């Protein structure tokens, strides 16, 4: 991740925690909603990807990609949307949404319904690893998602997720992750470091995280 991407990410994180600091904005925006296991996040960037606004609230309305408290999710998102609209003096009428990888169509529809219930049309649906890779500028590498009780790993090639799962699942699948892990394991053995712990990070992916 280059310095520009790092700076943009830092600003967006700061904005999500300090949404009261925003002022009126005039220009085209990109809006994104993510219903996390622990938080609901509403993020806004300009056409160049520069952070403009953000808001988040702790929530327990989603579990394993499934909305378990629909009304609660709608109420929280409606409040976040209202707060941002008041601060920027605009109306938010559309949004993209991020969903956990492998979320079935029925659950994606429920998440879409939450967003539409607060008056925003869903203009795009993207899985979370791809969304993270886009923000970080990763085309070929790995995205590790440390969530509420689980850690998911997604392997990307040319910006697309080609494998996903936890460490054991990916090792057992015999795919690209397993191949690269075994290569690094052999390297450690040859370097007399066989006892070192391999924390799912391997070349060429680990330098990207």
Say yes or no to pLDDT of 38 above 60: yes
Say yes or no to pLDDT of 202 above 70: no
* CB contact at 8 A, 101 and 154: yes
Q: What is the pLDDT of residue 11?
A: 47
Q: Average pLDDT, stretch 127-147? A: 82
Q: What is the pLDDT of residue 193?
A: 52
**Ranked by mean pLDDT, which of 13-17, 59-63, 185-189 comes out on top?**
59-63
Cα atoms found within 13 Å of the Cα of residue 129, Cβ hemisphere only: 28
Q: Average pLDDT, stretch 190-205? A: 52
Tens digit of pLDDT for each residue in 73-95? 999 999 999 999 988 889 999 99
Mention every residue, 6+ apart, whose C-beta is less than 8 A from residue 179: none
Q: What is the pLDDT of residue 208?
A: 44
Domain 3-135 sits in CATH at 3.30.420.40
Percent of the chain's residues with pLDDT above 70: 77
Q: What is the pLDDT of residue 114?
A: 96
Average pLDDT, the chain: 79
As given in the structure block, the two tokens for residue 46 are: 């300009």
pTM, whole model, 2 decimals? Answer: 0.69
- Residue ranges of alpha helices (H) inside 142-199 are 167-173, 176-190
Mean pLDDT lowest for which of 21-25, 148-152, 189-193? 21-25
CA 86 centroid distance within chain: 25
Query: What are the angstrom distances between the C-alpha of 31 and each of 47, 77, 93, 110?
Result: 10, 13, 9, 19
- DSSP for 118-143 reads TT-EEEEEEEHHHHHHHHHT-SSEEE
CA distance 44 to 28: 10
- pLDDT, greater one: 61 or 201: 61
pLDDT band at 135 (very low <50, low <70, confident <90, very high): confident
CA distance 115 to 160: 25
Query: Can you give the residue ranges of every domain in the chain?
Result: 3-135, 141-208
Say if residue 204 is preceded by a cis peptide, omega within 30 of 0.
yes
Considering only CA atoms, which of 156, 183, 157, 155 is closest in space to residue 167?
155
Tens digit of pLDDT for each residue in 42-54? 999 888 888 888 8
């Amino acid at each position: 991740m280059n310095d520009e991407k790092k700076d943009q990410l830092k600003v967006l994180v700061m904005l999500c925690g300090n949404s009261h600091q925003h002022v009126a904005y005039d220009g085209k925006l990109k809006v994104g909603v993510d219903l996390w296991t622990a938080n609901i996040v509403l993020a806004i960037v300009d056409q160049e990807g520069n952070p403009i606004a953000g808001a988040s609230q702790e929530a327990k309305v989603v579990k394993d990609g499934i909305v378990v408290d629909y009304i609660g999710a709608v109420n929280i998102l409606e409040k976040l949307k209202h707060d941002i609209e008041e601060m920027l003096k605009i109306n938010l009428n559309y949004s993209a949404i991020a969903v956990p990888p492998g979320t079935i169509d029925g659950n994606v529809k429920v998440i879409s319904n939450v967003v539409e219930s607060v008056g925003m049309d869903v203009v795009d649906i993207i899985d979370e690893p791809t969304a993270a890779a886009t923000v970080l500028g990763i085309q070929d590498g790995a995205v590790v998602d440390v969530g509420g009780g689980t850690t998911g790993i997604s392997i990307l090639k040319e910006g697309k997720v080609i494998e996903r799962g936890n460490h054991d699942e990916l090792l057992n699948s015999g795919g690209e992750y397993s191949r690269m892990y075994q290569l690094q394991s052999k390297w450690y053995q040859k370097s007399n470091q066989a006892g070192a712990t391999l924390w799912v990070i391997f070349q060429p992916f680990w330098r990207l995280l």
